[in-house]
């Protein structure tokens, strides 16, 4: 068993029954459809998500990035209006809510612009990566929206194939993991598994930090709209399918995650995949 201070990871001292809701890749924008991407229908899709989450009384809701998309042509003021619109819808959830930065969240605005409008419950607005604790678990939100030089994505610098978690954030992550005694769940937009253009460029280094801690049970991520799943060295990597894809109401994608002593139960709605994941020994 993975051990924390002599206790198994699944010990009831820490792990409790706890649930949260999640969705990803909303890409809301008041622009024309592009193939399977139905930008304006995201409003109704998110409303359906939140109705389900409110009814289920989940502990919090997290959106995993690409909350908005870019005006055509690019325009900062209009992009901020899109963000205000979708954030107002998100505020319908009756509880704590959190955001993960995605590449499209900085397509023609800055991270500071984004954080000035959205609300991460009980988190200072200046933070783009952060941690919080609920239900006997530690939740860590990562920001992989940096280029290979360590600079923030910002107002047009948001190349989806150049995504990194810089050294300063990796150091912070390592300290967070060392400081907690609780099982840990990670949220990030771009995948930390796989070996393609959508994968975080230094994903192997990030996974090394996660694995060394022996506390991380699962990574939830978005960005790759088709979704996916992989188990690597005892850590589950679940990529949630993109909400933007397909006509509403036939298509949507969101999930309720239930954590318990030995299991991660993912109830997928719409196109989202339902999975039951065992906490790895």
DSSP-derived secondary structure for 59-97: SEEEE-S--B---SS--HHHHHHHHHHHHHHHTTSSSEE
Tell which wins on pLDDT, 139 or 158: 139
| Whether the predicted pLDDT of 12 surpasses 50 | no
Phi then psi for residue 53, to 5 deg, are -65, -40
Q: What is the mean pLDDT of the chain?
A: 93
Per-residue pLDDT of 58-81, as tens digits, reads: 999 999 999 999 999 999 999 999
Question: Binning pLDDT at 50, 70 and 90, where does residue 168 land?
Answer: very high
pLDDT at 13 over 80: no
Residue 118 has pLDDT above 60, yes or no: yes
Q: Please state the rounded mean pLDDT for residues 243-258.
A: 98
Residue 271 has pLDDT above 90, yes or no: yes
Could you tell me the pLDDT band of residue 14, with boundaries at 50, 70 and 90?
A: low
List of residues 6+ apart from 175 with CB closer than 8 A: none
The residue-averaged pLDDT of 31-37 equals 97
Task: Work out the pLDDT band at 15, boundaries 50, 70, 90.
Answer: low
Question: Tell me, what's the pLDDT at 169?
Answer: 98
pLDDT at site 86: 98
270: β partners: 253
pLDDT band at residue 262 under the 50/70/90 scheme: very high
pLDDT, position 5: 31
Place of tokens 């499209």: 104
pLDDT over 60 at 4, yes or no: no
> Which residues on adjacent β-strands are paired with residue 216?
184
Q: What is the pLDDT of residue 95?
A: 98
Percent share of the chain, pLDDT over 70 = 95
Q: What is the pLDDT of residues 171-217, one digit of tens each?
A: 999 999 999 999 999 999 999 999 888 999 999 999 999 999 999 99
For residues 100-126, average pLDDT: 97
Domains and CATH numbers, the chain: 3-278 (3.60.21.10)
The 10s digit of each residue's pLDDT in 214-239 is 999 999 999 999 999 999 999 999 99
Q: Note if the pTM is more than 0.85.
A: yes
**Which two structure tokens, joined as six digits, stand for 147?**
């280029």
């Amino acid at each position: 068993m993975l051990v924390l201070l002599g206790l198994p990871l699944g010990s009831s001292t820490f792990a409790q029954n706890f649930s949260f809701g999640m969705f990803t890749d909303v890409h809301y924008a008041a622009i024309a459809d592009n193939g399977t991407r139905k930008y304006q229908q995201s409003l109704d899709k998110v409303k359906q998500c939140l109705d389900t989450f409110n009814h289920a009384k989940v502990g919090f809701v997290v959106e995993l990035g690409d909350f908005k998309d870019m005006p055509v042509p690019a325009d900062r003021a209009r992009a901020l209006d899109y963000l205000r619109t979708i954030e107002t819808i998100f505020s319908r959830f009756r509880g704590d809510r959190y955001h993960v930065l995605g590449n499209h969240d900085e397509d023609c605005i800055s991270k500071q612009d984004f954080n000035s409008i959205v609300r991460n419950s009980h988190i200072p607005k200046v933070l783009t990566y952060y941690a919080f604790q609920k239900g006997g678990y530690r939740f860590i939100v990562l920001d992989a929206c940096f280029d290979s030089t360590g600079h923030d994505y910002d107002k047009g610098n948001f190349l989806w194939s150049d995504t990194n978690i810089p050294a300063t954030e990796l150091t912070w992550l390592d300290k967070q993991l060392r400081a907690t005694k609780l099982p840990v769940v990670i949220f990030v937009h771009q995948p930390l598994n796989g070996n393609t253009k959508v994968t975080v460029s230094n994903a192997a280094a990030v996974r090394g930090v996660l694995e060394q801690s022996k506390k991380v049970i699962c990574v939830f991520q978005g960005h790759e709209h088709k979704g996916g799943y992989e188990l690597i060295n005892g850590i589950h990597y679940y990529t949630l399918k993109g909400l933007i894809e397909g006509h509403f109401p036939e298509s949507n994608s969101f999930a309720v995650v239930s954590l318990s002593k030995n299991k991660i139960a993912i109830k997928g709605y719409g196109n989202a995949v339902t999975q039951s994941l065992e906490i790895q020994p």
